[in-house]
Structure 1
């Protein structure tokens, strides 16, 4: 997967789709894939977290703290934006 994430546009499209699906485990896996594509050693250096720790943090079954995930998201240069859902007719 990391090989397909070779541009900011590809990363944005991938993460947007995963976020829209709303599966927490898949979101964490996606962040891990993006970190691998950008270089786990570089992300480790930017976040102050160990490289091996990052692999475990985004590995199968991991339940990282939100602040850890957010720290990695910021190091990846990704902005998360909130917008309201479309209103459903009553």
Structure 2
């Protein structure tokens, strides 16, 4: 029997352009749970420790906010996107 390895998107999001395209697609859908998952994947690809240092948020706070039962605040969302070099915008 062949062993199946779970797919982890974070393994493919270490390139900034790829991560940006991925998040753009996630945000376009507008589903809060998918946005949280997308940010979690990109954050893990970037490195939670580095992201913690860059945002000033603890690793635990990032794991809690971006984890499976997380619900990041606007402050956390803005800190994470800024640290990842992503700018949020609004369009009609």
TM-score interval, normalised by the smaller of the two chains = 0.7 to 0.9
Partner of 2:87: 79
Runs of 4+ that moved beyond 2 A: none
Any idea what the Cα deviations from partners look like across 1:7-60, whole Å, max 9, x if unmatched? 122111111111111110110111111111111101101111111221111011
Partner of 2:68: 60
Query: Do structure 1's residue 11 and structure 2's residue 19 form an aligned pair?
Result: yes
Unpaired runs of at least 5, structure 2: 1-8
CA RMSD of aligned residues (A): 1.0
TM value normalised by structure 1: 0.86
- Tell me the CA shift for residue 6 of structure 1: 2.3
SS at match of 2:70: coil
Distance 1:29 1:70 in 2: 16
Question: How many residue pairs get matched?
Answer: 84
